Structure 1
Amino acid sequence: MPRSPKIIAGGVILVFFILLALVGPVLVDGDPTKTTDVGLAGPSAAHWLGTTQSGQDVLAQVVYGARVSLGVGLLSALIATVLSIVVGLIGGYAGGVVDEVLSLLTNIFLVLPALPLVIVLAGYLPSRGVTSVAAVIAVTGWAWGARVLRAQTLTLRGRDYVQAAKASGERAWRIIFAEILPVEFPVIATSFLATVLAAILAEAGLSFLGLANLSTVSWGTMLYFAQNNQALLVGAWWWFIPPGLCIALIGAGLGLLNFGIDEIANPRLRTVLPKRRKRFGAGR
């Protein structure tokens, strides 16, 4: 596999935040919800990213919040990817009535406005924990991946190796998951990464609107309390910039990974991009 600077850069960013979520709470000494009498203190040796209005350490909240934000993103992306694989591959391979029913279901979720639907569903949740929020986001985010996988499966089911597997008496489930699924791994990977990013943004949006569990520290809840306590007006930039910057960086990392995988998996991009680089280089 050729080296891609985008994959390397995106991978470094993603690994950093994964390590921050896994190891960070061990290294950071402090309870993110503990209140002190040092409110709205700027960055210092005692509090590297300052404190909130209630004296809570912002660095501890950023570190602990990475677990919730990444956890929601990965869990919802995993659920959505499994749904898209099942619906897309089975519908594309089976065809007929099965494909029509699954395509109708996919089209319904595609035309539904995702964010308003997430807000409505989250508002009626009896429990607003990480699992519940991830499930709601996954329910609204699987249709696009299913549509792409269905289109890929429709082109692959007529290939010679698939027809040979049919002729040899292989069962349909084995052809789908052993012959067709591995070929679609690049498409699945790009869909998974895009869903992770969308889920992190959706979780931050729900928390910012107060529709998530506000007792759980996440980057979204940090922005919610910073906005409610008018951190921007009082000049407490250290309260809202770190979580916003983390969301932007994880988004950039996932986007770079997505673009890098797409360049490697797409033969057109592999041939077009070097020509463009040479053209621009010659123009200089």
Structure 2
Amino acid sequence: MASTTSLEGSVPSVAPSPGRTSIAALLPSRSPKLVVGLAIAGVIIAWAIVGPFLVRDPNAISTDWFAHPSAAHWLGTNQTGQDVWSQLAYGTRGSLIIGFVVGIIATVFSGVFGVLGGYIGGAVDEGFALFTNVVLVIPGLPLVIVIGNYVPQNHRGLLLIALVLTITSWAGSARVLRAVTLSLRNRDYVAASRVSGEKTWRILVVEILPNLVPVMASQFVFAIIFAILGEAGLSFLGLGANGTFTLGTMLFQAYNDLALTQGAWWWFVPPGLMIALFGAALSLINFSIDEIINPKLRNSTRAARRKWGLTAAQIHRLEQENLK
């Protein structure tokens, strides 16, 4: 949620160069935040891809109930003797599938309704803006709960849950993209492209979209975080995906079967920690992207790096000068 606030607050300070933006300028500078975020996210994504091929069947039932973590079961077992480590591998994959599907679809929707409508203007822009505002004012969580409750349980797959979450995750991003596009379409280089007779699609792809890449990347990252947390919330309410494992369904089953009362911390702590770690990793990546969107944030970060690169005596001298 914090990244949305920083995005909306930074719209006036989005200041693309007066000409075409180079690819190098669109990439986040290498910083400790970016390196740590990419490292954590990369390990979790790799585990979600490879993990299910390396573990046993997560549905296999045994008589080893509520077994503590051991060499036989790295994260113990649940009340039916199912291996929690195996469920964590499949659950991580399921949650990431939902997260990335929602991120991609929400980014496409926000691009169509925000960028296309903002550039074309007129009745198209008014219609897109009206529809976006209607979606934006609808309470998100109640709508998701109603839709999830309306769908029969045996039809709640990963993709359907992703589509349900997408409905409430694109409108805010579309408003931000529309505001930036309205500013960009009045730039001199865009006007020159229109006067020279370039087609609308080429102006959008070559002149407008490169300047929106940092904003859209930040919105894509936030949409993934929203989707994973939203799926966990739906699953905790019993409205999650059926017949498959996600981090949310693991938490729901642990809560339903009184894992906390039984002292089976190994059942609910790992999925919760996985959600927290992946969310933290994406937040660190988003902070690096925000440094591109907000020039003031980028300058303050560089100043802080220069300060921490000084010796203790130099820092003390600067503090004394600031006191004066």
TM-score where L is the length of structure 2: 0.84
Report the Cα offset of residue 13 of structure 1: 1.1
Query: Where does residue 218 of structure 1 map in the other structure?
Result: 246
Give 1:214 shift.
3.4
Structure showing greater Rg:
2
Quick one: distance in 2 between partners of 1:80 and 1:6? 25
CA distance in 1, matches of 2:303, 2:44: 35
Q: After the TM superposition, which residues 104-253 of structure 1 pair with which residues of structure 2 at under 5 Å, given as runs? A: 104-126=130-152, 127-253=155-281
Offset of 1:235 from its aligned partner?
0.6
DSSP 3-state at the match of 2:166: helix
SS at 1:231 equivalent: coil
Please name the residue that 1:68 is paired with.
94
Does structure 2 retain, via aligned residues, the 8 Å contact 1:125–1:132? no
Distance 2:290 2:241 in 1: 36
What CA distance in whole angstroms lies between the structure 1 residues aligned with 2:307 and 2:52?
49
Which of 271-280 and 184-193 deviates more?
A: 271-280
Equivalents in 1 of 2:278, 2:302: separation in Å? Answer: 27
Q: Which residue of 2 aligns with 1:15?
A: 42
Deviation digits for residues 206-254 of structure 1 (CA, Å, limit 9, x no counterpart): 1111112232111111101100111111110000000000000010001
Residues 237-246 or 13-22, more deviating: 13-22
Q: Which residue of 1 aligns with 2:31?
A: 4
Match of 1:96 among 110, 118, 122: 122
RMSD: 1.6
Q: Is the 8 A contact 2:157 2:242 kept in 1?
A: no
Tell me the secondary structure at the aligned position of residue 108 of structure 1: helix
Matches within 5 A, 1:10-89: 10-28=37-55, 30-89=56-115
The amino acid across from 1:115 in the alignment is: L
Corresponding residue for 1:260? 288
Q: Structure 2 unaligned runs (5+)?
A: 1-26, 309-314
Local SS of the residue matching 1:259: helix
Quote the offset at 1:168 in angstroms.
Answer: 1.2
Following TM superposition, by how much is the alpha carbon of 1:121 offset from its aligned partner in structure 2, in angstroms? 1.0
Contact preservation (8 Å) 2:106, 2:166 = yes
SS where residue 50 of structure 1 aligns?
coil
Q: Alpha-carbon deviation of 1:273?
A: 2.8
Map Cα deviations across residues 239-273 of structure 1 (whole Å, 9 max, x no partner). 00000000000100010000011113422112123
- Identity, % of aligned positions: 53
Distance in 2, Cα, partners of 1:174 & 1:124: 43
Query: Deviation at 1:276?
Result: 5.0
Distance 1:36 1:162 in 2: 66
Q: Matched residues in 1 for 2:141 and 2:74: separation?
A: 35
Secondary structure of 2:261 counterpart: helix
Q: Given residue 157 of structure 1, which amino acid in structure 2 is its aligned partner?
A: R
Secondary structure at 1:221 match in 2: helix
Equivalent position amino acid for 1:178 in 2 = V
TM-score by length of 1: 0.95
For residues 134-163 of structure 1, what are the alpha-carbon distances to aligned partners after superposition, in whole Å with 9 as ceiling and x for unaligned? 111111100011011001101100111111
Q: Number of residue pairs matched?
A: 283
AA paired with 1:125? V
Whichever residue aligns with residue 6 of structure 1, its letter is K
Deviations 1:56-80 (A, max 9, x none): 1000000111110000000011111
Equivalent-residue separation in structure 2 for 1:181 and 1:59 (angstroms): 43
